[in-house]
Amino acid sequence: MTLLPQEFIARKRDNLPLAQADIARFISGLVDGSVSPAQAAAFAMAVYFNDMSLDERVALTLAMRDSGTVLDWSDLPGPVADKHSTGGVGDNVSLMLAPILAACGVFVPMISGRGLGHTGGTLDKFDSIPGYTTNPDNTLFRKAVRAAGCAIIGQTDDLAPADRTLYAIRDVTATVENISLITASILSKKLAAGLGALVLDVKTGSGAFMPTLEKSTALAESLVSVANGAGLKTGALITDMNEPLASAAGNALEMRNAVEFLDGTHQDPRLREVTLALCAAVLEITGMAGADAAREKVERALDSGAAAERFGIMVGELGGPADFVENFANYLTPAPLVRDIRAPADGVVTAIDTRGVGMGVVALGGGRTRPTDTIDHAVGYDRIVGIGETVSRGQPLGRVHCRSEADFVEAERRFLAAYSFGEAAQAHPLIAGRILPGGHA
């Protein structure tokens, strides 16, 4: 029996199980117009209150994947993998992870997003590079992946279009914060990208969408279970976002931070650990290496300069300057005003409202308050002092990169409001959990 859309919605409203075929028909109707936005909104609200079983989550994810094109990389001479982060501040891991994995023999066709709320977007960072195209046609995308081993671009219109439609409806109907819907949204795009393996970086803490470890763990377990249930080998790390991961937050500033990380000029210790741990997890998931060998391999790919070389090839293939890695300072447009933020008192940095720091970047113009907003790539913070560091009154806590004196005053106010000082800081584990295919590790 074929269910009408209203009958399908009623089953979820009444907390009755949904069949895979009915889920597929409903999502197909969302794309072809036979399911109305009002019906999709009612379905999302029913899921919000009654949630979905594992089988239903897998079915929804696969239906959204199959709503558009599914890429095929079977012609590549090596494993195909990617990474997804649930979003944070100073989280530029993708910029280093893709070329590190490429230097290890993994192909990384990374389809990324733009900034959302207080979190930075990978594509916005790449838009700071003159000439770099984040929306290449399929021919150029494939050429770049073959040449560099990696390519970081944006979602095309024909990849998981049902997700784009349903997300827009969820965004205006207060149904975003549901693990089942979040899981299907994230994974449908990754499955449509034709991956063989995926590692997830699920953030927890004051700068994460899931601020508690309990909620972050629940999301990570859902993502790993559904992805593997849908046939994609997937693992996850739960990582700390109680402070910015890099010492920079802002698009061009995080790009500079990433290039200096790749060429060895400067590597933030927490950022290095998370990046290499995620890279090593990919090698384990793909079966390329065991835990110890995987870590040694990714460290060698980074420290030898091989990853920096791959990054440079990728930038050149996608329209950016061929010498970007060597001469990035000539291409990244600086902000006209750069000024220190100074500590108001002596003490230890005990806590950082990381979301507050991220919103400081947004207020400067480095993020969006509306989808149509234009990004100012030059603005943001750098030289950010982390939790546990002892500071003296008047010592710099960070720097603001901005357009005007008024912008500096507001950015300084937001930054200082995010900092707490005391005698001792509570330690947060950098990697709070690790889930590989088959369960906890």
| Residues acting as catalytic residues | 82-85, 122, 170, 185, 189-190
What is the C-alpha to C-alpha distance for residues 388 and 423, in angstroms, rounded to an integer? 9
Tell me the backbone φ, ψ of residue 337, rounded to 5 degrees: -125, 125
- 329: which DSSP letter? G
Contact status, residue 130 vs residue 320, Cβ threshold 8 Å: yes
Residue 441's identity, in one-letter code, is A
What is the C-alpha to C-alpha distance for residues 49 and 288, in angstroms, rounded to an integer? 42
Burial 206-230 (b: 16+ CB within 10 A, else e): bbbbbbebebbbebbbbbbbbbbbb
- Specify the 3-state DSSP secondary structure of 77: coil
What is the C-alpha to C-alpha distance for residues 374 and 314, in angstroms, rounded to an integer? 25
What is the C-alpha to C-alpha distance for residues 163 and 155, in angstroms, rounded to an integer? 11
User: What are the helix (H) ranges across 318-382?
Assistant: 354-361
From the centroid of its chain, how far is CA 283?
A: 19
What is the C-alpha to C-alpha distance for residues 10 and 422, in angstroms, rounded to an integer? 54
Half-sphere exposure at residue 22, Cβ-oriented, CA atoms within 13 angstroms: 19
What is the C-alpha to C-alpha distance for residues 100 and 152, in angstroms, rounded to an integer? 13
